[in-house]
Structure 1
Amino acid sequence: MPQKPISLGHGKGSIFKRCECADQTRCKHEWHIRYRIDSRPREEGSDKGWTRRQAESRLKEINKAKFAEAPVERTSSRSAPSFERFTSDYLQGRIDLGKNTQRNYRSILENHVYPELGRLPINRIARKPHVLGQFKHLIDKGFTYGRLKVTRDLLHMIFEEALLEKIIKENPVTRIPLPPEPFSEFYLPTAKEIHALAEAMPPHLRLGIYLGAGCGLRLGEILATNTSCLRAGNTYRINHQWTKHGEFGPLKHRLQGEYRDTPISDELVSRMKEHEEQYGLTPDGYYIRGMRREYLKLRVPQDSGHLRDVPISHAAWATTFSMARRIAQVPDEVNTKSLRHFFASTAVRNGIPLSDVADYMGHTDMQVTHKTYKHLLPESLTSMSRVVSKALFQ
């Protein structure tokens, strides 16, 4: 029978062997450790085999990290709220956040942060090992750069609130490093491919393709196209979107009521009027509608009565877009976001300043626009090489 584990003290774990030797203190089998994190039992061993001293040393390292405390100004660890409770109260008070943002934040917290940090008192969460360990865990799970940045910004906001309430003395998330953002190549569709894609879409949805490529709209913004979006002077105003949850919400990275303007051509305005005459609008003035369930087999609506009174869902659009892509025989890399790339790339190649393109695209950080489209600036590298050559050698 295996011998009883040797405890290092109450709450500090124990060391043990899996063998059934009569005197385990003298046999040559490897040692293992057993401990608890957030009341969950864990066991650990080494591929090379631990001696008793190595097992005890490893357990002491874990306990040192486990009981590490962040500086506390006024609240003891016993009276401080848990990270989960504090965060829940904080998010409930953020009435300025849209429903989509709240959902996204809660999903990250409940699925990836609370399991590790949720039960800890917020004033006992230290930069090392808790916060750095959390991000290492997320990187190991395959979090993209974008999701890592959102998580870091969220945790920074939460701890800033705790700092403001004087529950903690310093923010453990400040200056947390992230891995470098990878540059991802994107496929840029041609005008011919966009027209082929539009022709392959059901007629009542073709306008959405041209709005994406002609105004640089995101999918939710395409589906929320409304008569109120058209403004004087070839201006298209975007102030809300149709979310994947089937409801209207604020724009990405924007608060309720905020908007952005983007240019729209006379040709596209004419297409919108033709669409309205042929397929009508919802009672609230929306253009891009899906088919009613009972008429789905038709694919092409015979009259406006075959269409729903709300915008088409994200899922239905994605399915229809995928079918149209196969019919049009355009590359699989083309998606709805490719339409935005066409809009931005066309603007940059024709000398529109990057700052203006960033505004049209709705980028809150111009660095995103710069990194993505800088290489398309007309003859920027050639012009610079000529300037330097002239100054240096002539």
Structure 2
Amino acid sequence: MATRALARGMGTFFKDCEHPESRWSKCPHPYKIRYRNAAGNQAEESGFATQDTAKDRLLKIYNEKKSQPQSQARAERIAKYGPMRFEEYAREWKEGQRHLAASSIRHLDSLFEHHIFPVLGSRKMASFDHKVVDGFIRAMERAQAGVATQSNAFDKVRAILLDAQRLGLYAESPLEGVKAPQYDPARAVIPSLNRLRALRLGGDDAFMLLVDMMSGCGLRNGEAAAVNVNNVVADDVYRVHEQVVHSTGKYGPLKHRKAGTYRDVPLPARVKATIEWYADKYGTIDGYLLRQPTDATKPYPHWGLSNQWKRIKEAGAVEVPEGMVIYGFRHFFASNCLGNGIPITDVAEWMGHRSIDVTFKIYRHLMPGSIGQAAQTIDAALAA
């Protein structure tokens, strides 16, 4: 009796008769198959009229055995997590978010406590579908939560449900068809170049250094407060790898980044000159230029910048554009880059945004060009 083996682990097919394999196609006897079942025991089946039907049956058995462990594991996960309350699952999920800074964890806890758990906390994980998620959004609308808060809360719920879907809890995404809250940031108020020059001289020397780091390198307030001469890694490159964390007053990792990560940003010659001038005039401590005025052993405090900004506005010696905040200096950096044709992908990276979508939402009105301008530019190129 001859047998024909398929790929390793798929089994064999054969005919239990006196005819040689070369005559199987014309032999009237049925084909048989032999394989290892899920328990590892040898099994046989017969009654297959053609080779193809025998092969198809072996392939089906093989695929069923191959998928069985996965299906069993998925069933076990559904049995474990399906009855779990959303609040319990969310807290387990939070433990895995080790990349979040302390301030981001506090923000997450606040969203859980005030907006997410009161609506979804007791709901069983297996009960989620698009109607439940849409009802959550409507509940926030009825509670008159700000659109930014709605967007942030929805993002967290979405991340948690996608995590559950990856575990196999849902055959279809419970987010399918749900319209997310649309947060459209207010248009940034940006100082003109002349106004920027006047404002940077409106405070003390520390204020001028901070303004230069924000407007020239695109740094956030806390990142600028951690300015360090050792971060000048080239004549035109400044390396950002830490910030003064607002909530703790200590040096910590960058926003949305793990400790030890960094980003390199452009270092204009004028900003580099300001760093060197300040270091020569006041000296440094471990390379840091700015320290707490009343205690040089501590980092520069967040209130140092805000107090000076308040005094400048109250003094009225320099006109501050209506609606401008301290972040306007950082907005100036983005405006300067985009207005001079630097790709928004580069600007997003230098500013430390998690996604280019964030950059686009805030600064899309600054991007040069329109459909009309694009048509003229393309037409000029075609006519050349």
State the TM-score, normalized to the length of structure 1: 0.68
Is 1:100 paired with 2:88?
no
Match of 1:45 in 2: none
Match of 2:300 in 1: 312
Deviations along 1:362-390, one digit per CA (max 9) or x if unpaired, are 23322333444444445555642435777
Which one of 310, 313, 317 corresponds to residue 322 of structure 1? 310
Counting aligned pairs with the same residue, the percent is: 28
Pairs aligned (count) = 307
How far apart, CA to CA, are the structure 2 residues paired with 1:371 and 1:79?
37
Which one of 121, 124, 128 corresponds to residue 121 of structure 1? 124
Which one of 246, 271, 274 corresponds to residue 271 of structure 1? 274
Q: Which runs of 5+ in 1 are unaligned?
A: 1-71, 293-306
- Residue 161 to residue 348, structure 1, CA distance change in 2 (3 Å): closer
How far apart, CA to CA, are the structure 1 residues paired with 2:373 and 2:123?
57
Q: Which residue identity does 2:313 align to in structure 1?
A: R
How far apart, CA to CA, are the structure 2 residues paired with 1:356 and 1:78?
42
How far apart, CA to CA, are the structure 1 residues paired with 2:288 and 2:214?
16
Give the drift of 1:350.
1.9
Q: Secondary structure at the match of 1:84?
A: helix
1:207/1:288 contact within 8 Å kept: no
Q: Which residue identity does 1:358 align to in structure 2?
A: A
Q: Secondary structure at the match of 2:207?
A: helix
Q: Secondary structure at the match of 2:201?
A: helix
Match of 1:139 in 2: 141
Q: Secondary structure at the match of 1:261?
A: strand
- Residue 320 to residue 140, structure 1, CA distance change in 2 (3 Å): farther
Deviates more, 1:153-162 or 1:233-242: 153-162
Match of 2:53 in 1: none
- Residue 142 to residue 186, structure 1, CA distance change in 2 (3 Å): farther
Match of 2:343 in 1: 353
1:77/1:121 contact within 8 Å kept: no
How far apart, CA to CA, are the structure 2 residues paired with 1:215 and 1:390?
35
Q: Which runs of 5+ in 2 are unaligned?
A: 1-73
Is 1:342 paired with 2:345?
no
| Cα-Cα RMSD | 3.1
How far apart, CA to CA, are the structure 1 residues paired with 2:136 and 2:251?
34
State the TM-score, normalized to the length of structure 2: 0.70
How far apart, CA to CA, are the structure 2 residues paired with 1:187 and 1:352?
20
- Residue 167 to residue 387, structure 1, CA distance change in 2 (3 Å): closer
How far apart, CA to CA, are the structure 2 residues paired with 1:229 and 1:78?
47
Q: Secondary structure at the match of 1:363?
A: coil
Q: How does 1:227-246 map to 2 (within 5 A)?
A: 227-245=229-247, 246=249
Give the drift of 1:265.
1.6
How far apart, CA to CA, are the structure 1 residues paired with 2:308 and 2:127?
51
How far apart, CA to CA, are the structure 1 residues paired with 2:314 and 2:359?
30
How far apart, CA to CA, are the structure 2 residues paired with 1:168 and 1:315?
48
- Residue 164 to residue 179, structure 1, CA distance change in 2 (3 Å): closer
- Residue 322 to residue 232, structure 1, CA distance change in 2 (3 Å): same
How far apart, CA to CA, are the structure 1 residues paired with 2:168 and 2:302?
44
Match of 2:115 in 1: 112
Q: Which residue identity does 1:92 align to in structure 2?
A: E
Higher gyration radius (CA): 2
Match of 1:386 in 2: 376
- Residue 378 to residue 147, structure 1, CA distance change in 2 (3 Å): same
Q: Which residue identity does 1:360 align to in structure 2?
A: W
Is 1:219 paired with 2:196?
no
- Residue 191 to residue 257, structure 1, CA distance change in 2 (3 Å): same
How far apart, CA to CA, are the structure 2 residues paired with 1:164 and 1:348?
38
Q: Secondary structure at the match of 1:97?
A: coil
- Residue 140 to residue 193, structure 1, CA distance change in 2 (3 Å): farther
1:156/1:174 contact within 8 Å kept: no
2:341/2:368 contact within 8 Å kept: yes
